[in-house]
Structure formats: C-alpha cells, structure tokens
C-alpha cells in the first residue's frame, strides 16, 4: 500500500493535527503526515509537529498583499513536499478560488457543527442560540463556499442542559479527534472522493 502524503494547515493549537499525526503512526494507516504549514509563527501546533518529527513551514499571510500570493507561497511548500492531500485543522484563512480549484477533491476541512448548520465563526454559540439538542462535527471537501463542500463524515454530540460554548466545544473537540482520522482514511483509500 502506498500511503498518501498529507500536509496539515493550521493557525493555532493543532489538536486535530495531533490526532492525525497519532493516527498516521499506526501501521496500515493509509496516510502519512509529511508537512505542517501555519500562517502564524506563534501557533502552538508547530511545536507539537516538530516534537513528533514532522517538518514544518511558516507562511505569514501578513507578508502578502493578496490572497493569491499567499496561496502560491503555501503551495510552493506543498509541491516541494510532494503532497497528495491537504487537511485543514483550524486553519483560519480563506483560500483563493484558483487554489481551491487546483486542489479540488484533495483538500479536507473539519468544522465543529453538523453542516450545513452553523457555518462560519462561533458555531458552538450558534448551536446554543438555536436551541438544538444535537450538535457535532463534520469533515468536508474544501470548495470556494465557506464550510460548504460535500460532507465526507459527521459525528453527533448531544447538547446538554447548562451547556456553555466552552463545554460544548470540549465535547465536540473530543469527537473531532476521532472523526478526522476516519475521514482521512476514507479519502486516502478512495472510498470517499469528489466527483463532478
């Protein structure tokens, strides 16, 4: 079995990145994490990646005048690492349509809601404000529409009385750490793929 070469894009703590790195350590897992790229030099996830022996790169978005120029700089690292798939793990940057098109069907994102509900920022607060009894997380293919690509996998998490955005986030995050490695397996093995 040839393992798919995966780059993880992060902006912060990298807990989902860490879950993917851990999954990739198991023999027989169909993907290997070969690169972690962050748009923030201070992202705590970079230290986690380095500690796990994964090469890292920082591409500071503030150094670029356009989204396209930033994407091209990120892509240079991806191509140099011969990446097959990209996994967004708390990557807080919108990508240019051209970049998304070039990587169509090869980019995944994880979002802490049951999409298509509660897209964008503060999904935990959105869920509580809506009064739902079940929330969760979704892994989807990246498309130009924010949090709008076809869904690969989802996990449901109950909303309980007295939940705060923080308590709901903690329970959903635990589910994310189980779901993302599963979803990456589906895509890396071709059992889930983007068509059309």
Residues with a catalytic annotation lie at 111
Contact status, residue 61 vs residue 34, Cβ threshold 8 Å = no
- Could you tell me if residue 147 is left (phi over 0), alpha (psi between -120 and 50 degrees) or otherwise beta? left
**Alpha-carbon span 135 to 32, nearest angstrom:** 30
Q: 135 forms bridges with which residues in the sheet?
A: 157
Residue 23 to residues 19, 139, 147, 178: CA-CA distances in angstroms?
Answer: 6, 16, 24, 9
Nearest CA-CA partner of 118 in 148, 87, 88, 151: 148
């Amino acid at each position: 079995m040839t393992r798919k070469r995966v780059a993880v894009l992060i902006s912060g703590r990298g807990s989902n990145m860490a879950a993917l790195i851990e999954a990739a350590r198991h023999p027989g897992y169909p993907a290997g994490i070969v690169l972690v790229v962050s748009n923030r030099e201070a992202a705590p996830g970079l230290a986690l990646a380095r500690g796990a022996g994964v090469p890292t790169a920082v591409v500071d978005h503030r150094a670029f005048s356009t989204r396209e120029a930033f994407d091209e700089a990120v892509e240079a690292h991806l191509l140099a690492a011969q990446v097959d798939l990209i996994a967004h793990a708390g990557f807080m940057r919108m990508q240019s349509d051209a970049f998304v098109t070039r990587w169509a069907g090869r980019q995944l994102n994880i979002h802490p809601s049951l999409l298509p509900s509660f897209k964008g920022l503060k999904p935990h607060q959105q869920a509580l404000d809506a009064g739902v009894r079940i929330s969760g997380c979704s892994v989807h293919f990246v498309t130009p529409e924010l949090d709008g690509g076809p869904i690969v996998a989802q996990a449901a998490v109950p909303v309980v009385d007295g939940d705060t955005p923080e308590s709901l986030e903690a329970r959903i995050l635990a589910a994310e750490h189980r779901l993302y490695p599963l979803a990456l397996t589906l895509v890396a093995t071709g059992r889930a793929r983007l068509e059309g």
